[in-house]
Structure 1
């Protein structure tokens, strides 16, 4: 057997980890403003202010808008997800242990990516609701109205995150659930994660603050309101540990998140213990 066969094993494992991370890892990375291949410990996103039009006298000078540019720093952090694969254990199991470890590591890193973004979204001070009820038609309308009031673009890049319980409650709201209001994608038959309603792409997410408690938080936000920086995407390293008679499989990444524009993120405060209407 070739002495370099382990190199092929490492490359195949790393590809599997990357594919698992993209497939079932992070749900939110593609829904925010993102920078890849960041060099250094942080990166900066620019928040651009609003321009103001003005008049001028004939042959007079145009008044500059002096559009405000606010830099928002996104600090990167290093994260690891590793485990051992005992050499003799591999002969005793009837499943692909390598795939199990690959998926566990990739999904763990994916959840960490979403955790970073959700923690930043939770820094906003704009909210609707007061934790006294489950999701209602009024709360959904108020959340979208708040984005409109803040001049957040309605350009197809608005996103909404609901806990599984609030998603179930939303499906009891005719305007949200019925194809008569939102097109052909019948809610109880759809296979994808998202549902477009009032210009917002809604999805279920199990990592929202306070899930399954009486003080849960859902979100609506615009893609450009949150930033994600990646200095090192998900990579893998496999080493033989002779004293343990096992391979140590380590997956790692260097990433960070930041809140670019608080006005582009709206909290929906709900009671996640509310019953689903009959």
Structure 2
């Protein structure tokens, strides 16, 4: 068996997993709301309708401000991260090795949560979101097309559509794009202009990029813009340790398994933006006030 691995390698691995995950911010995990409850292989997220304040006649009995309420049920099947430690390598294992294994496990956990959120966004974009209390799913707002790369104008249109819905006023807004689209948007001269007023709506957006976004067409990709309260996600922080001998083999199995769940909660707070997936990176010309074009001789 790996020499003294129980005394030093596994404890250091466990410590690194927890520390690395707590210190590491997932790309999407901090852009959504939480609050899920795990029961078996399911996760339940509470959902509440809009509640309004009201005035009451003096000495009259208060009316209950009840609102529509239900629970979103999503699958939360266990996800495993397990490593095999091979006995003949026992002289090569070290604290540094345990740290690397721990970082790799923490990164896998973070990607699992990101993937769950992206899958939930894809469900919202392609199927819709059921209203509170049940019923046919309501499609989310979709703009753009798969023949044209999404530009800043289209992103701002999506921001405007969310802003016009009072329910999401003042909330964090996130835009998730592929890296190529992120680069194209960063080259838009308006993103870097310093002579504009402070009212630049794209500055309030939390920009995230990932290559895991769905591609409904061969050269098309779905970009998502959403309010924090419109999406929910949770992971079961009671991670279960895996630490056992693999039968008669010369290997110890070490790792964790956990549960992750995510779902769209309110389709009104989600905008799907269709975009071309592959395109050349070109910079738009910057307009200069007072500059007159010179015609060729």
TM-score range, shorter chain: 0.7 to 0.9
* Number of residue equivalences: 264
Aligned 1:186-201 pairs, distance under 5 A: 197-201=202-206
Confirm whether residue 271 of structure 1 aligns to residue 276 of structure 2.
Answer: yes
CA apart distance, 1:135: 2.2
Confirm whether residue 151 of structure 1 aligns to residue 166 of structure 2.
Answer: yes
Contact 2:46–2:69 (Cα < 8 Å) also in 1? yes
**Other structure's SS at 1:269 match:** strand
Higher relative CO (Cα under 8 Å, sequence separation at least 6) belongs to 1
Counterparts of 1:24 and 1:214, CA distance in 2: 32
Deviation sequence 1:149-176 (CA, Å, 0-9, x none): 3334232421111110011001111222
Structure number with bigger Rg: 2
Note the residue ranges of structure 2 that are not aligned, 5 or more in a row: 125-139, 284-297
- The worse-fitting range, judged by mean Cα deviation, of 161-170 and 234-243 is 234-243
Q: Structure 1-normalised TM-score? A: 0.78
- Structure 2 equivalent of residue 186 of structure 1: none
Contact 2:220–2:274 (Cα < 8 Å) also in 1? yes
**Other structure's SS at 1:27 match:** coil
User: Which of 165, 184, 199 is the aligned partner of 1:169?
Assistant: 184
CA apart distance, 1:274: 1.5
Aligned 1:174-213 pairs, distance under 5 A: 174-180=189-195, 197-210=202-215
**Other structure's SS at 1:6 match:** coil
Confirm whether residue 111 of structure 1 aligns to residue 111 of structure 2.
Answer: yes
Contact 2:12–2:95 (Cα < 8 Å) also in 1? no
CA 1:211–1:74: 2 relative to 1, 3 Å: closer
Aligned 1:29-48 pairs, distance under 5 A: 29-35=29-35, 38-48=38-48
CA apart distance, 1:213: 5.5
Contact 1:210–1:216 (Cα < 8 Å) also in 2? yes
Note the residue ranges of structure 1 that are not aligned, 5 or more in a row: 184-195
Counterparts of 1:179 and 1:93, CA distance in 2: 53
